[in-house]
Amino acid sequence: MAKKRPARDRHVTDFIALTEQVRAAGLMEREIRWYVFRMIRLGLGFAAVGVMFVTLGQSWWQMLTAVLFAIMCTLTGFLSHDAAHRQIFASAKKNAWTAVISGNLFVGLSHGWWMNKHGKHHANPNKIGVDTDIAAGALVFDPESASQRTGFAKWFAARQGWFFFPLLTLAVLDLHINSVRRVLDRKHAMPHRKVEMALLFIRLVMFPIAVLLFLGPVFGIAFLVVQELALGLYMGGSFAPNHKGMPLVPKDVKIDFMRRQTLMSRNISGGWIVDAGMGGLNYQIEHHLFPTMSSRNLKRVQPMVRAYCAERNIMYTETTLAKSYMIVMRYLNRVGLGQRDPFECPVTAQLRSAR
């Protein structure tokens, strides 16, 4: 009688079978033409915003220009994200340079800092003490961190869900600060440090100076503040629904790859508008399972992944954008009050089935 394989080995074998099915369908192939057209559209979009900026001059209508500029920068950030995951080119160098230029110059985000942070997240999403995306900061994501807060910080944590959207407006400012710190900190290796420093200087120093010189102090400062707040709200609002409010994993718990990436992720439904607006991040489960897959193909692989999860009784979470925000806000308030992870029981059941 054949010896029964451990559950973890069976899961690995099953996932390999899914990967082979995905490759056979051609969904891991590069979509360079699609990305080239995407870059052209971004270029035309920035050109249109530039014409609008120059034409309007010193006018409060420039606040609309600032919002449109923030939208274009966020869309470029999505492109940088894809390049960082090596989705665009077969060449690692081309992907890296695309990510460096687009991320630093248009978003003000250090590619080197982002890769270090994002790599930890992808390896262990929502794992306490490992995934820095859930590290305690202005917000707390686990009851233990919340219980350590005192005074105003404790009061704020108990109501942090209500401050979720206002804090999102400051998300990119936080990215700017961390990016500058990273490129100036020579204790950590960074392949393109000088290039990143130069590009960040253009985006964070030269660009604001140019805006102030052209619009004057009043309109200039207003423009810069609006574009920064809008950029933070859009970019932060695109990334937050994917994992916030999903189960947290204790640091000492080990989970197989499939469940590690699926149980902690949430997809966002909504059709082509959400697909375009979130740059493919709405297919977060598929992206975590196949991080090098072109964001264009994530929608196409979704039926395969959903069927795979259904066959193995793996929880597959998908909801609308509005509902995801409500879930995140309620979750933050519950955690801030020191209540346990409301998803603890379902996850425990899933992990037991994985043994």
Predicted confidence (pLDDT) per residue in 328-344, tens digit: 999 999 987 766 554 45
Lowest mean pLDDT segment, chosen from 15-19, 35-39, 196-200, 351-355: 351-355
Sign, CA dihedral 328-334-338-339, equals negative
Model pLDDT for residues 102-111, shown as the tens digit of each residue: 999 999 999 9
pLDDT at 339: 63
pLDDT: which is higher, 351 or 198: 198
Chain centroid offset of residue 95 CA: 18
Nearest to 291 by CA among 124, 97, 86: 86
* Confidence at residue 352, expressed as pLDDT on a 0 to 100 scale: 47
What is the percent of the chain where pLDDT is above 90? 77
Q: Is residue 253 part of a domain?
A: yes
Residue 10 confidence (pLDDT) above 80: no
As for how many domains the chain has, the answer is 1
Q: Are 99 and 217 in contact (CB under 8 A)?
A: no
The answer on pLDDT for 254 being more than 60 is yes
Q: Percent of the chain, pLDDT > 70?
A: 91
Q: Is 271 left (phi over 0), alpha (psi -120 to 50) or beta?
A: left
> Between helices 321-336 and 151-158, what is the axis angle to 10°?
140
Per-residue pLDDT, 1: 46
Is residue 50 in a domain?
yes
- As a whole number, mean pLDDT of residues 105-134 equals 93
Burial class (CB in 10 A: 0-12, 13-18, 19+), 191: exposed
Please give the Cα distance from 127 to 124 (Å, whole number).
6
pTM of the model: 0.90
pLDDT at residue 7 in the model: 52
Q: Does residue 165 lie within any of the structural domains? A: yes
Element (H, E) at 319: strand 318-320
Rounded Cα distance between 10 and 82, Å, is: 31
CA distance 239 to 173: 15
Q: Where are the alpha helices (DSSP H) in the chain?
A: 7-24, 32-56, 62-84, 92-101, 111-123, 143-147, 151-158, 164-168, 171-184, 193-201, 207-239, 257-262, 271-277, 284-289, 298-311, 321-336, 344-353
Amino acid at 319: T
The vertex-100 CA angle with 49 and 36, nearest 5°, equals: 60
Give the model's pLDDT for residue 336.
75
CA torsion through residues 126, 330, 303, 84, sign: negative
Computed over every residue of the chain, the mean pLDDT equals 91
Q: What's phi and psi for 15, nearest 5 deg? A: -70, -35
Locus of tokens 């082979």: 20
Phi, psi (deg, nearest 5) at residue 339: -75, 155
Q: What is the mean pLDDT of residues 124-148?
A: 89
CA angle 291, 292, 297 (to 5 degrees): 90
**DSSP string covering 140-204, please?**
--SHHHHHT--HHHHHHHHTGGGGHHHHHTTHHHHHHHHHHHHHH-TTS--TTHHHHHHHHHIII
Q: Which domain holds residue 102?
A: 7-353
Any domain includes 1: no
Predicted confidence (pLDDT) per residue in 33-82, tens digit: 999 999 999 999 999 999 999 999 999 999 999 999 999 999 999 999 99
- Point out the least confidently predicted range of 11-25, 155-169, 341-355: 341-355
Q: What is the mean pLDDT of residues 169-198?
A: 93
pLDDT computed for residue 9 by the predictor? 54
Total residue count of the chain as it appears in this document = 355
**Between residues 306 and 190, the one the model is more confident about:** 306
Within a domain: residue 244? yes
What digits encode the pLDDT tens for the residues 298-326?
999 999 999 999 999 999 999 999 999 99
Residue 2 counted as domain residue: no
Q: List C-alpha distances in Å: 74 to 70, 230, 273, 278, 325.
A: 6, 9, 15, 9, 19
135 pLDDT band, cuts 50/70/90, is: confident
- Beta-bridge partner residues of 320: 269
